[in-house]
Amino acid sequence: ADDAFQHRRMGRDADIVLVDACCPFGNGWIAPAGILRESPSVLSRASAVVVTKSDQVEPERLERLIGELSRFVPKERLFFSRISLLNWRRWNGGWKDAAGERPDSVLAFSAIGSPESFRRSLEAGGVDILKEHRFKDHYRYRMEDMAALEASLEECGASCMVCTEKDVYNLPQEWRPTRDILVPFISTVLDEEARFRECLLEALRPRMVVASNGYGEDSMGVLLARKLKERFPSASVSAFPIVGRGEHYLKEGIPIDSVPSDSPSGGVIKYRFADLWRDLRSGLLRSIARQMGAWKLLRGRIRTPLCVGDVYLLLHALFGQGQLPVLIATAKTVYLSGHWRLERFLIKRRSRMAWTRDRDTAEELRRSGVQARFDGNPIMDITCDNTIEPVSWGSENAPRILLLPGSRRRAYDDLVLLLQAVERIHAMLSEGASYLMVVAPTLDTEKLLKACERVPATEEGQWTSFGGEHAPGVRKGTCEIRFFFGPLPAVAGRAHLLVGLGGTANQVCAGMGVPVVSIEEKGKFVQKKLLGDSEVLVPPQPQALAEAAVRILSDEPLRLRMAAEGMARLGGPGALDKVVEYAASKMGWDLRVRLYETLAGFWSASDGRRP
């Protein structure tokens, strides 16, 4: 619609900008000094630019205009149209049958924005204009104006008066001409119409972006993206992880829009100033600037990003691309002090809807006026991925112990602690145990194997690798640890115990009924408030980890109590399905996809003909 291109808050799926070849930019100045509302450079955000009346200017002038537009608009989004005179209609207080031939000589009058274009169209149709009267745009004619026009008609000797269809609706209602007014009905002919339809169809193709800011959040984001692809198969679904390289998404075949961002802390800087300082020294601010640039490329091409993470991610997406996001708030809960007042204000004012990980947190946000919902814990949705097949642990009689070194850079150092703990656990369990180590896609297998070599040798020797490239693992004496590179729920469901140094992964295991043993550090103390008695924290020492693990495995009632506590604390799944349903019905994505599919099918079936 006219002027809507400047209203950035107005929702739109495509912007088609028309540039008048006869007067493209006026005097080149922005209002009030000129007719422009914005600089011509903003044409870069248009889905398509159509140069109208391209047949009414000299070829040299048109070439200059093309050169100027090409600075901002790629050639594949630049199109041209011309005006074609279809037929003539008679008007005398009402529309009459179509006139036969064009008039020979006329008096032309108009009150439109480009009267020169009207004159050129008449002349191009072979009409002899004996006299012309121009009024200001949108002018409402008066009775005395019409009397003056009829007097001028008699004076010049023209056969009739002609005006535009727009002018007919601005004539005085009670006035009737002495002779029928002839009105030319025109049509716009678009050059390369098939190419224009392809461009428009690509602009109308729904584009959905899932943003996340953490490795655990990436796991949830992957599942959400997959559900979106299943619900909207013709839509474009991509990801915008702001921490790491998006390995979870790439493994699933989901394209990445963001810039890879590796940092020493792995994105966790809220617990220690030293982590923030290291990230700053390694280029945190440059990384943020690059991510903002990546968001800018998506401006005008997406409608509502879906953010899996915290309020920082919400602001990151909002400032980057301008549209209000949906927030799946996985980072905070009332069990961990809840959201700050400022965060609640931002979620209220700068998000369309927020999903929480528990009912009490949703209630807290609603008391602050936030549109908040609880439909299950999004973290636990990971456990309901129906594409995951359970994996065999090997021995069914021995205790099954899951090992998690985490997913960030420190995992290579933490691996040494885990292996030393396993040595002691294995020595303390007379029946032995089966061990599986879940390797996050963010970790490098070669670096993990090299980290194993740093473990001090004992009487049983050194940790050595086995299994080759396809099924790697490490062993020491009779103790074997197999590496697992698949999704965590595939192996967590049958584990008796987790010795884990992860974040979200520890929570997933607790929610699946697996008791957790981890180490005392600031982040884990915070997590302990959430997991309660389903997790045991010990000093970061191999012997302490081993003793805690063996104590739980030796006390079945204790292990079962911890399992029940974890499942009760984390709750059930279901949030991500509700997010997709909300996007389909309340945000109109279902209708957009149907529109796109209908147009694509119709234009394909019509074999290039105009619908």
Domain range enclosing 68: 4-193
Confirm whether 238 is domain-assigned: yes
| Average pLDDT for 28-40 | 87
Give the residue from 158, 193, 228 where a domain finishes.
193
Instruction: Examine the domain organization and report whether 354 and 441 are in the same domain.
Output: no
Q: Quickly state the pLDDT bin for 47 (edges 50, 70, 90).
A: very high
The predicted pLDDT at position 611 comes to 43
Report the alpha-carbon distance of residue 507 to residue 220 in Å, rounded: 13
Could you tell me the CATH number of the domain that includes residue 359? 3.40.50.2000
- Contact, 358 vs 322, CB < 8 A? no
**Higher-confidence position of 609 and 283:** 283
DSSP label at residue 71: T
Does the pLDDT at position 34 exceed 90? no
| Average pLDDT for 356-363 | 92
Q: Quickly state the pLDDT bin for 271 (edges 50, 70, 90).
A: very low
In the chain, the amino acid numbered 318 is L
The two three-digit tokens of residue 552, written as one number: 């739980």
Cβ atoms < 10 Å from Cβ of 28 = 12
Confirm whether 275 is domain-assigned: yes
Confirm whether 198 is domain-assigned: no
Instruction: Examine the domain organization and report whether 218 and 156 are in the same domain.
Output: no
Instruction: Examine the domain organization and report whether 241 and 322 are in the same domain.
Output: yes
Instruction: Examine the domain organization and report whether 418 and 561 are in the same domain.
Output: yes
**For 12, what's the count of Cα atoms within 13 Å in the CB-facing half-sphere?**
20
| Average pLDDT for 206-219 | 91
Residue owning tokens 């209000």: 324
- Contact, 141 vs 150, CB < 8 A? no
Torsion of CA 354, 359, 364, 365, to 10 degrees: 10
The H helix count followed by the E strand count for the chain is 22, 22
| Average pLDDT for 69-84 | 94
Q: What DSSP string describes 135-159?
A: --TT----HHHHHHHHHHHHHHT-S
Report the alpha-carbon distance of residue 193 to residue 48 in Å, rounded: 12
Instruction: Examine the domain organization and report whether 164 and 244 are in the same domain.
Output: no
Confirm whether 395 is domain-assigned: no
Report the alpha-carbon distance of residue 368 to residue 373 in Å, rounded: 13
Q: What percent of the chain has pLDDT over 70?
A: 94
Strand runs (DSSP E) across 191-291, as ranges? 207-212, 236-241
Dihedrals φ, ψ of 121, to 5°? -65, -40
Confirm whether 319 is domain-assigned: yes
The predicted pLDDT at position 490 comes to 85
Q: What percent of the chain has pLDDT over 90?
A: 55
| Domain count along the chain | 3
**Helix (H, G, I), strand (E, B), or coil: what is residue 395?**
coil
Does the pLDDT at position 319 exceed 60? yes
In the chain, the amino acid numbered 369 is G
Which range, of 121-130, 142-151, 279-288, averages the lowest pLDDT? Answer: 279-288
Does the pLDDT at position 388 exceed 70? no
Instruction: Examine the domain organization and report whether 272 and 325 are in the same domain.
Output: yes
Instruction: Examine the domain organization and report whether 155 and 23 are in the same domain.
Output: yes
Confirm whether 384 is domain-assigned: no
The predicted pLDDT at position 431 comes to 83
Instruction: Examine the domain organization and report whether 369 and 410 are in the same domain.
Output: no
Which range, of 18-27, 69-78, 356-365, averages the lowest pLDDT? Answer: 18-27
Confirm whether 522 is domain-assigned: yes
Contacts of 458 (CB under 8 A, 6+ apart): 423, 476
Burial class (CB in 10 A: 0-12, 13-18, 19+), 68: middle
Q: Which of 44, 49, 76, 78 is nearest to 296 (CA)?
A: 44
Q: What average pLDDT does the structure give for the chain?
A: 89
Which range, of 33-42, 47-56, 202-211, 579-588, averages the lowest pLDDT? Answer: 33-42
The predicted pLDDT at position 327 comes to 97
Q: Which of 244, 246, 289, 287 is nearest to 268 (CA)?
A: 244
Residue owning tokens 């200017």: 57
Q: Which of 105, 121, 104 is nearest to 156 (CA)?
A: 105
Residue owning tokens 């008791």: 515
| Average pLDDT for 149-163 | 96
Q: Which of 357, 282, 373, 336 is nearest to 528 (CA)?
A: 336
Q: What DSSP string describes 562-593?
A: HHHHHHHHH----HHHHHHHHHHHTS-HHHHH
Confirm whether 371 is domain-assigned: yes
Instruction: Examine the domain organization and report whether 263 and 163 are in the same domain.
Output: no
Instruction: Examine the domain organization and report whether 439 and 492 are in the same domain.
Output: yes
Calculate the alpha carbon distances from 434 to 472, 478, 518 in Å. 15, 11, 19
Output the CA angle 391-396-397, nearest 5 degrees: 155
Instruction: Examine the domain organization and report whether 146 and 267 are in the same domain.
Output: no
Instruction: Examine the domain organization and report whether 104 and 157 are in the same domain.
Output: yes
Report pLDDT digits (tens) over 409-460: 678 888 889 999 999 999 999 888 999 999 888 788 888 888 888 888 888 8
